[in-house]
Chain A
Amino acid sequence: MPEIRSPLPGTFYRAAAPGEPPFKKEGDAVAVGDVVGLVEVMKSFMEVKAEVAGTIARFLVENEAPVTAGAVLAELEG
């Protein structure tokens, strides 16, 4: 199953700001380069982009949860 991983350690956010809709929900289609979340690392925000296309099967990390580098954030269905 294709996965989206965190490029850096930090804090994972599913939306651009509190109260805003998430970048992607489970069941949404993603294209290569789509932003699926943000990782805050040392007060800088980095976009997490999909490197493969597919449909989001599920998120494995909750909004605002700490993540390690390489942690699987979401799984995709081909």
Chain B
Amino acid sequence: MAIRRLFIANRGEIAVRVVRSAKALGIETVQAHSEADADMLAVRLADRAVCIGPAAAKHSYLNIEAVVGAAREAGCDAVHPGYGFLAENAAFAEAVEAAGMIFVGPSPDTIRTMGDKAAARAAAIAAGVPVVPGSDGRLADVAAAVAAAEAIGYPVMIKAAAGGGGRGIRVADTADDLRRLVPQAQAEAQAAFGDGGFYLERVVRDARHIEVQIVGDGSRAVHCFERECSLQRRRQKVWEEAPAACLDDATRAELCRSAVALAESVGYRGAGTLEYLYEPASGAFFFIEMNTRIQVEHPVTEMVTGVDLIAEMIRIAGGAPLSLRQEDIRLTGHAVEVRINAEDPTNNFMPFPGVVGTLVIPEGEGLRFDGMIYDGYAIPPFYDSLLGKLIVHGPDRGAAIDRLAAALRTLRVDGVKTTAPLHVALAADPAVRAGDFHTQFLEPWLAGRSLAAE
């Protein structure tokens, strides 16, 4: 049953993105909005808009009853959750289905399984996908740790079983290190958590964050190659690209094949992303988790494959089989996306809500801007700071970065501070241009310079 009227249960740039693809498919769009979002761009573009509650997200975009009720009231036959908010909430997907509508995404069971780290890891192992090797549970003593580390491979991290947030982690390069550090780690965990239990996990050195885009129809799945998102600040991605320049063709093929195997093993329906850590020195990759939704950085994949991921999600949700064959999905050139956030990079990325003044969006060959702003738009302070994403495509990585640098010179968002100066500096940085970075690169890089002059 093809979808005729779609409810968009999100806001910001992703709501704009979904409205545009749905309209292009001839689907009527009903846009949800909070009281603070009545002026947002997606409301202006959609066929209809419905207020679902007050500014605070927990009373509007996170309120399952309000969202489902509004969608049903508007006569919608499907709900697109976007990303964030309720996108990976199995109870929400269930409520949408219980109200007789289609949830544009995987089944509630798949969301539940893949959203649980331990269950997702077990599913990966069952599908033959490598995961970060570890002791799989608590270890009794030093002797057990040495035996486990032999199987895992050095270096290993000693982690407190009761810990979290990186506390009490020690790294052992050899068995001698382990014999010395385990008693220290046990004593510290006992003091900090009242529990001296510990386990081991292999260290992934100079880890790069690489993720594979997959699309499935419940029985068959394909991959749309990978993205690299290693440039992160406080675990937030700031710069993403496709493909990952650090992979050779054989590793890329193996990585993408593993993602398809895992997606098919869980009968995945819709668009999803499998996240991996890649270790350049060994060429090894390890599955870490799955996101059962569309991602912020999906446009880089669209730029290098030509696939409209949102349209494909909507078609599959409407009951159509996957329209793509793996052999038809080709990688062309290189794409980079940078996040334009309303934050002041010269002042510790302080949020900077305000009214958008003159707006100049770069346009031209190989350029795309997925945004939520317009001249005169008052950016509400209640939600995240993402204003838009500048995406560039070029025949190769160097050309794409050159195009990015030129586009950033044109981009103008008056009235607010944005993260554009950060991207200007990154696009000019020799290490970034050489692709020589990893997930721990950006924060020390930021600490070592001032962006004030940019």
Contact = CB atoms under 8 A, between A and B. Distances in A.
B381 A42 contact: yes
A48 to B, nearest CB: 14
A66 to B, nearest CB: 5
Interface residues of B, number: 13
B353 A11 contact: no
B342 A42 contact: yes
B344 to A, nearest CB: 11
A40 B382 CA distance: 8
B56 A41 contact: no
A53 B18 CA distance: 51
Interface string A16-41: 00000000000000000000000011
B225 to A, nearest CB: 31
B254 interface: no
Contacts of B350: 44
Contact of A42 (B55, B56, B384): B384
B213 interface: no
B13 to A, nearest CB: 14
A10 B342 CA distance: 14
B55 A9 contact: no
A9 B353 contact: yes
Interface in B307-362: 342-343, 350-351, 353
A9 B56 contact: no
A10 B350 CA distance: 13
B357 to A, nearest CB: 17
Contacts of B383: 42-43
Given A42-B342, A42-B353, A66-B36, A10 B381 contact: yes
A74 interface: no
Contacts of A64: 56
A11 B34 CA distance: 15
Nearest to B350: A44
A41 B342 CA distance: 11
Nearest to B348: A44
Contact of A8 (B36, B351, B385): B351
B36 A42 contact: no
A41 B55 CA distance: 12
Contacts of B384: 42-43
A41 B36 CA distance: 14
Contact of A66 (B342, B343, B351, B382): B382
A62 B32 CA distance: 27
B385 A66 contact: no
Interface in A38-78: 40-44, 64, 66
A11 B57 CA distance: 11
14 contacts: A9-B381, A10-B382, A11-B55, A40-B382, A41-B351, A41-B353, A42-B342, A42-B351, A42-B383, A43-B351, A43-B385, A44-B350, A44-B351, A66-B55
The 9 closest A-B pairs by CB, nearest first: A42-B351, A9-B381, A10-B381, A42-B385, A41-B381, A41-B351, A44-B351, A66-B55, A43-B384
Given A43-B351, A64-B56, 17 more contacts: A8-B353, A8-B381, A10-B353, A11-B55, A11-B381, A40-B381, A40-B382, A41-B351, A41-B353, A41-B381, A42-B353, A42-B381, A42-B383, A42-B384, A44-B350, A44-B351, A66-B382
